[in-house]
A and B are shown apart, each in its own frame.
Chain A
Amino acid sequence: MAQRMTKLNEEKVFKDPVHRYIHVRDRLIWELIGTSEFQRLRRIKQLGTSFLTFHGAEHSRFGHSLGVYEITRRLINVFEKDPEWDPNDRLLCLCAALLHDIGHGPFSHSFEKVFQTDHEHFTREMILGPTEINAVLRKISDDFPKKVSDVIGKTYENKLVVSMISSQIDADRMDYLLRDAYYTGVSYGHFDLERLWRVMRPREDQVVIKHSGMHAVEDYIMSRYQMYWQIYFHPVTRSAEVILTKILHRAKTLYHNGFKFKYVPTQLISLFDGQVTVEDYVKLDEALILYYFQVWQEEEDPILKDLCYRFMNRKLFKYIEFTPMDLSLYDELRDTFLEADLDPDYYLVVDSSSDCPYDLYRPGEEEEKLPIYLVMPDHQLRELSRESDVVDSITGRKRTDHKLYYPLDAIMALPSHSKAKKKLRSLLSI
């Protein structure tokens, strides 16, 4: 308990392009940042494959995690005067903010899809297991790691604390929207962060918004909408993601078929076998994965070799808009890919909006998700889209999309007399 009150002799600051400075005064936070598990986040990109579309998007989960911590810290400063806020939750909230992404692996979403892992599971393991993070958190109390894990897992009793880190308007989203906009270099995606946290109010079990702050929230929702379509669901980024997923699938399949790798992926074997431990997991980062992609360009397997070459040299798949109402086009394409000796399991891929790990605002009908509430002048709560025409107009909009990815260059490289080539060109209108 003594440690709880320990402050550093002097404040530490991180220079940050989004928040200008990130301030650390608590020894606990400083020690958490110094753990090897947290430092590993420097080697995991926040936006995965987006750097192949927006070359600036090389920022890491390390910077984002610090950003979420900083937003939470400033939000707590606003809440401190409010009787609904319990100052005893301060450190818990800051630790959860800092550690919320600790369980993410390299190219997290594709990894989870292929290897059936779950970053939330590893977040829990890294906080509760025999890790440096756990040792630091236990300096507060034996049950403190469990509390931090429950806040991140959204099963903590105080839902107000949970909603600051994870809700439809939380420190996580606020940081990643601004940070991703900054690093991708796009001009949309901005909103007035300071105004937002000034109109946020702690209320019983969630953060709500003062009615006069509705326009600031509209701006945030618009930012979320634009970033979704322009950055997160960008078709070129999705193409890179498709190839990345297929490389991992291919490597896993080859391993299970007894393929003799020239460059044996020793560090990935527990993943292939579905027996990855937290000790194996913390050794994984994007440097390691990119190393394998680099050397696998020399493997004998033509598919693995080609897909790695494509990823490393940005020779991505092209796409057509695809409406899978009638699957006969897909079936015909599949047969023709086989005729052309292109394995459709790897070279003909449908990607849907539901494959993208980002989401848009939902007004929480039927209690599916807790919506954003405005506190009206009469102190009643109103769901945002019922008050805001702007939000209402974009929440009602169609937000689904499907694309069909294929290797244009490989098709064009087929012999000119090839019937399959002719047919593919006609089916894909190329």
Chain B
Amino acid sequence: MLEDHAKIVSLLEQAGEVVGRKKLQKIIYILKKCDVPFQEKYHFHFFGPYSEELSLRIEELCNLGFINEVKETKGGYYQYRYTQTEAAKEFLSHFDIHMETIEPLIQELNNQNSKFLELVSTILYFDDLTREEIIEKVQVVKKKQNYSLDDIEEAFTFIASIKSMNTKVS
């Protein structure tokens, strides 16, 4: 019961703060691809892997008072900041979810900017293709973002580094 909600709250507990809806979406997708057991379904959208289920779950957690969402205006567009609330601690005490073991991984993801995480998650979305096919696909579906070959290489290196980190939730 609400275990999937609790995992999101627990993630925020470890992250401290996540700035941006897009960033939160991509962090959870990347964690899923690292076998962290998030259940939200993702599909490919205009801006990469996106989960409507996750968006709604975050909205539910905000309405329940377990996640704090602050809307900021940033140069003509909106950006949202997410933190765990005090009430969330009591909520989490009902679940046996421990994300402490993957805290370094969460921090590593949270330290990246959302454009880079968008690239990383897009590469992971096509991980059943060969490296060459992935590069070709990224350049097709992310034409507007104009990722350079260096950016793509950096993302591959980043993926290799996070895959070597602990991804087991105790």
Contact = CB atoms under 8 A, between A and B. Distances in A.
B87 A325 contact: yes
B122 to A, nearest CB: 9
Contacts of B65: 325
A155 B141 contact: yes
Nearest to A120: B43
Nearest to B64: A325
Which of B5, B43, B56, B79 neighbours the largest number of chain A CB atoms within 10 Å of its CB? B56
A354 to B, nearest CB: 4
B77 A366 contact: yes
A262 interface: no
A370 B47 CA distance: 8
A153 B43 CA distance: 8
A331 B94 contact: yes
B50 interface: yes
Which of A154, A157, A159, A354 neighbours the largest number of chain B CB atoms within 10 Å of its CB? A354
Interface in A186-215: 206
B141 A157 contact: yes
Given A153-B44, A157-B140, A327-B94, A366 B60 contact: no
B1 A330 contact: yes
Contact of A350 (B1, B46, B57): B1
Interface residues of A, number: 32
Interface stretch (B18-26, B28-36, B100-108, B154-162): B18-26
Interface string B124-153: 001000000000010011010000000000
Contacts of B87: 325
Contacts of A367: 22, 46-47
A159 B46 contact: yes
A368 B22 contact: yes
Nearest to B63: A400
Contacts of A323: 64
B50 A369 contact: yes
A366 B2 contact: no
A317 to B, nearest CB: 15
B86 interface: no
A186 B21 CA distance: 36
Contacts of B41: 112, 118
Which of A365, A367, A370, A399 neighbours the largest number of chain B CB atoms within 10 Å of its CB? A367
A66 B59 CA distance: 35
A368 B47 contact: yes
A362 B55 contact: yes
A350 B2 CA distance: 8
B100 to A, nearest CB: 22
Contacts of B2: 324, 327, 350, 352
Contact of A399 (B59, B64, B78, B94): B59
A310 interface: no
A213 to B, nearest CB: 22
A154 B60 contact: no
Contacts of A157: 140-141, 143
A398 interface: yes
Given A112-B41, A324-B64, A366-B21, A400 B78 contact: no
Nearest to B87: A325
Interface string B55-81: 111011001110000000000011110
A366 B50 contact: no
A185 B108 CA distance: 52
A349 B22 CA distance: 31
A157 B142 CA distance: 9
A325 B140 CA distance: 45
A159 B46 CA distance: 8
Nearest to A369: B45
A402 interface: yes
A369 B46 contact: yes
B21 A354 contact: no
Contacts of B5: 352
B43 to A, nearest CB: 6
B46 A327 contact: no
A35 interface: no
A359 interface: yes
Contacts of B47: 367-370
In order of increasing CB-CB distance, the 6 nearest A-B pairs are: A354-B56, A370-B46, A400-B60, A366-B21, A354-B57, A367-B47
Given A365-B80, A400-B59, 20 more contacts: A154-B45, A155-B126, A324-B64, A324-B91, A325-B87, A327-B94, A352-B5, A352-B60, A354-B56, A365-B77, A366-B78, A367-B46, A368-B21, A368-B45, A368-B47, A368-B50, A370-B46, A370-B47, A399-B56, A400-B63
5 contacts: A157-B140, A352-B2, A368-B25, A369-B47, A399-B59
